[in-house]
Amino acid sequence: MLRGREVGLRARYEADIPILRAELYDDVAGSARAESRPWRPVTPGSEDSRLVVDDKEEGHVPFSVVELAGGTLIGTATLWGIDNHHRSAHIGLGLLPASRGKGHGTDVVAVLCHYGFVVRGLHRLQIETLSDNTAMLRSAERNGFVREGVLRSSSWVMGEFLDDVLLGLLAEDWRPDPA
């Protein structure tokens, strides 16, 4: 397990999937904001490609996020679009509703940066998020990410186009948490 101040990133367990599906992906409005594809219902018991882990997929590393104190599942974290030639990847995360607003997002981003830069030896990490996702923007910027651009009206979300913000962090600009 990778450890931050308050959260740990561990392998996805089979028992995590029903909780993540119910609290993250069955929420139509929340899922529509987090996904780049339209929401659709997934039949209970069927494999959900967003949650089932394919250990052979080198370009996508999904984690379950747990609180270190007690081990409670609080969300998902992913390093995706990993490009070993350019040594870059994208960061994504989703916290269960009861775990939002507690600073966990900043800790998750810090642990993903450690994984990307130290464990994987990447040079660049990138985040794309909706311009009104202040929690993600704050978490990224607290970890040293810099706003590099705005993609105007680039995401179709629940009947309207929204702007996306592109943030980047280079390994040489990263300042790991000394704790």
pLDDT at 36 over 80: no
Average pLDDT over all residues of the chain:
91
- Each residue's pLDDT tens digit, 111-137: 999 999 999 999 999 999 999 999 999
Report the interhelical angle of 104-114 vs 134-142 (nearest 10°): 50
- Each residue's pLDDT tens digit, 68-105: 999 999 999 999 999 999 999 999 999 999 999 999 99
Q: What is the 3-state secondary structure (H, E, C) of the chain?
A: CEECCCEEEECCCCCHHHHHHHHHHCCHHHHHHHCCCCCCCCCCCCCCCCCCCCCCCCCEEEEEEEECCCCCEEEEEEEEEEECCCCEEEEEEEECHHHCCCCHHHHHHHHHHHHHHHHCCCCEEEEEEECCCHHHHHHHHHCCCEEEEEEEEEEEECCEEEEEEEEEEEHHHCCCCCC
pLDDT at 46 over 70: no
- 2-125: CATH number: 3.40.630.30
pLDDT at 51 over 80: no
Map out the domains of the chain as residue ranges: 2-125
Give residue 58's pLDDT band: very low, low, confident or very high (50, 70, 90).
Answer: confident
Q: What is the pLDDT of residue 50?
A: 62
Question: What is the pTM (predicted TM-score) of this model?
Answer: 0.91
Query: What is the identity of the amino acid at 17?
Result: I
pLDDT at 110 over 80: yes
Q: What is the pLDDT of residue 82?
A: 97
Report how far residue 59's alpha carbon sits from residue 76's, in angstroms, rounded to the nearest whole number.
16
Mean pLDDT of 139-153: 97
pLDDT at 52 over 80: no
pLDDT at 179 over 80: no
